[in-house]
A and B are shown apart, each in its own frame.
Chain A
Amino acid sequence: MKRTFTIFKALTLASLKSPSSIFWMMIFPVVLLLILASIFSNIQKSITVRVAVVNESSTFKNTNLDFSSYMIKALMNISHPYNGKKPVLSLKLGNNERDFESFLSDLKTEKLDAVVLIPKNFNAHVFSRLSNLPLNFYPQVKIYTRSNSQSSDIAFSILSSVISSLNKVFWKRGGKKFLSTRIEYVGKGGNTFSYIDFLTAGIIVMAFMTVSLFGVTDDLLVQREKKVLKRFFVSPITKSQYIVGMSLSNISLEIVQLLLLLVAGKMLGANLRIDIFSISFALYALIVSMPLGFFVASISKSANSGNALANVFNFLFMFLGGLFFPISNVPYFIKVIAYSIPTTYLANGLRSSMGVSYSATSTYLNVLVPLIWAIFMSVYAIRHFKWEVG
């Protein structure tokens, strides 16, 4: 324990005395937060997306089986101001083809951000699915958006979340009590989409990943190349004591980072919920990010190649993990990659736990996927990392 603490102390002190470490670990994430928040200040403010719903469903009108009305009620619930904040969406309603054409025209001229079409046979199809009738009916709602429009993307993301949640309720509860889930679609801490909230949580995950990728890689590869590790291991200290000490050092720096980013986010107007759940998830994210650096170190032959690989992973995980922008409407092949990497789930999980936005992935996956990555990378690193050059 004393030896582990000694390593922890030495590496932490060295990091705190290193100008480049201080910059990349502490200053850079805050500066990036500031820059992105400034550039995208228009979406930094709470925005309201404009959605129109055309309900053409005619069967089971005014009965308990009017499922389309439940969907509209769910959307109406998030179209009212909440706790004095602007609503997440403004809603227009229509019920015929003429309304639909008019809304589509508004969508094209950017007067609307999305149009939802509930088809004529929607209620009947939902009923047949719920009743397990042997009919091949699949209830379907169509969402029309503009391509390359951020507000349309956000609208799509919100609508997808609502529909996805309704689906779960339809199948699980038979439609009887599904209204009780309405508030979950719009986030737990407030019902507005705020870019600064979204970004702060993303940058926290980025900061954890960066420390792991560059901090751990440096502690292992550079120190290995300079024979600093060799010098340690002829002293009475084991490799596991070194690894634990090094990890504790990085974790402590990341906790400082987390606090700095939370303070910076708050100063920029972020409304993040800080409680036992969000802090626990942040610590979880921090710990499961750590093996990434070990993994990169174990597949790199030198400090130079390790640095190059760390940059590749950094870019891949940073931009495809939805840390800075939502990935709900990216092309399919990118989505496949995005939903394969741990940062997507860590960012989703952290945002969800901080009440930033509804997570497109379940809490279960947000915990499990990064854990599987962490276990794989740890096992690989333990088996393949070479403590000596050559």
Chain B
Amino acid sequence: MEKKEKKIVLEVEGLKKFYNDVKAVNGISFKVFEGEVFTLLGPNGAGKTTTLEILEGLKKHDEGTITLFGTRIKTVLPLHLKEKIGVVLQENNFIEHLSVVEILKTFRGFYSKGLKIEEVLEIVSLNEKKNSKVEKLSGGQRQRLAIGVALIGDPQLIFMDEPTTGLDPQARRNVWELIIKLKKTGKTIFLTTHYMEEAEFLSDYIYIMDHGKIIASGTSQELIASFGGKRVIEAHMNVDENERKELFSLFGESAEFEDSKVFLKTSDLPRTMKKLLDWVEKKRISLEDLIVRQSNLEDVFLKLTGRRLRD
């Protein structure tokens, strides 16, 4: 209900991009609302980056419509719209030998209006490194510079293509905090990721993408709820084919196997756990590494595709 009152920043309808026989993007549709963090979640090769590059004006689409800030995009993204967007690419490199400040000044020169260099340095916490050459920056610092460059024109919409891939956990956390900070300032953020924790932590709305198609969408709570259970029991057990069938008949669709690992999703943890332990005791099967955890987007993806996000 609340979404309907918000302004649509980006609307995509039936978007397609083919490379010969490969359907990289196969008829996807979505809307991005002002001020939200919108996430395309999917494994590598799902078509997320291709989608993003079409929206950023780097690639042409074969079919479908794109409406950005109320303007229908045909092939090339006009400069006045480029002024309204910021982009963090998957791989961010800059002209070598220039310092952080010089890089920011260069990109600031492309925009008719935007933020001051000092403001951006403050936002991305690179004040201490402002005179360092880009090649001397760590991965996390370089990524923060990339975000700074994306912010320099004070964009309304920021595209971020897997902004934390390859970063260590601390650097990843820093980028997450930065994204939350940007969201608080009213920026709309279009994110792609294959990290379900990232999508869950940052997103207002998630579209799960696989093989060029959107296979599910909603808030993370909605998606997890659609999965069929709030918690998951995980354990390793050595069972033969008959025992596996018996387990399926006992737990129905809530049971899944991945090699010797069983996953039981449940909304009634004590009851499901008792049922499992009774069956194990009766069958004299050993249980190892038993854990109980909250359901997550990984479970949703596994349920939808039979594969894990990181596969």
State the A residues within 8 Å of B (CB): 2-3, 5-7, 9-11, 13-14, 17-18, 223, 226-228, 230-231, 233-238, 388
Contact = CB atoms under 8 A, between A and B. Distances in A.
Given A6-B106, A235-B82, A230 B58 contact: yes
Contact of A234 (B57, B80, B94): B57
B110 A237 contact: yes
A17 B102 CA distance: 12
A382 B298 CA distance: 47
B269 interface: no
B91 interface: yes
B98 A233 contact: no
Nearest to B111: A236
A231 B92 contact: yes
B107 interface: yes
Given A226-B93, A227-B89, A228-B93, A236 B82 contact: yes
A234 B87 contact: yes
B79 to A, nearest CB: 4
A236 B110 contact: yes
Interface residues of B, number: 27
Q: Which 3 A-B pairs have the closest CB atoms?
A: A6-B109, A234-B87, A17-B97
Interface in B82-107: 82-83, 85, 87, 89, 91-98, 102, 106-107
Contact of A223 (B79, B95, B107, B109): B95
Nearest to A7: B106
A233 B77 CA distance: 10
Given A10-B95, A14-B95, A234-B56, 5 more contacts: A14-B97, A231-B149, A235-B107, A235-B110, A236-B82
Interface in B247-283: none
A129 B176 CA distance: 90
Interface string B41-65: 0000000000000001110000000
Contacts of A10: 95, 98, 102, 106
Contact of A231 (B85, B94, B102, B111): B94
B91 A227 contact: yes
Contacts of A14: 95-98
Nearest to A387: B58
Nearest to A234: B87
Given A10-B102, A235-B110, A236-B83, A18 B97 contact: yes
Nearest to B99: A17
A234 B89 contact: yes
14 contacts: A5-B109, A7-B106, A9-B106, A10-B106, A14-B95, A230-B58, A231-B87, A231-B92, A234-B56, A234-B159, A235-B87, A235-B110, A236-B79, A237-B79
B63 to A, nearest CB: 21
B17 to A, nearest CB: 14
Contacts of A234: 56-58, 82, 85, 87, 89, 159
Instruction: Specify the main secondary structure of chain B where it touches its partner.
Output: loop
State the majority secondary structure of interface residues on A. helix
Contacts of B79: 236-238
Contacts of B57: 233-234
Nearest to A237: B110
B153 interface: yes
A3 B153 CA distance: 13
Interface string B98-129: 10001000110111000000000000000000
Interface string B179-199: 000000000000000000000
Given A14-B95, A236-B83, A236-B111, A231 B89 contact: yes
Contact of B102 (A13, A226, A230, A235): A13
B22 to A, nearest CB: 13
A18 B98 CA distance: 9
Nearest to B77: A234
Contacts of B85: 234
Given A14-B95, A17-B98, A238-B79, A233 B58 contact: yes
A235 B95 CA distance: 15
Contact of B109 (A3, A17, A226, A233): A3
Interface in B11-65: 56-58
B89 A11 contact: no
A236 B153 contact: yes
A56 to B, nearest CB: 69
A173 B107 CA distance: 64
A227 B102 contact: no
A236 B56 CA distance: 11
Contact of B98 (A2, A13, A227, A237): A13
A6 B110 contact: yes
Give the one of A11, A231, A238 with max B CB within 10 A: A231
A246 B85 CA distance: 24
A76 B106 CA distance: 63
B293 to A, nearest CB: 38
Contacts of A235: 82, 87, 107, 110-111, 149, 153
Nearest to B96: A14
Contacts of A238: 79
A250 B111 CA distance: 24
Contacts of A7: 106
B13 to A, nearest CB: 22
Nearest to A3: B110
Contacts of B92: 227, 231
Contacts of A228: 93-95
A14 B106 CA distance: 11
Contacts of B97: 13-14, 17-18
Task: Give the interface centre of A7, A13, A230, A234 by most chain B CB atoms within 10 Å.
Answer: A234
Contacts of A236: 79-80, 82-83, 110-111, 153
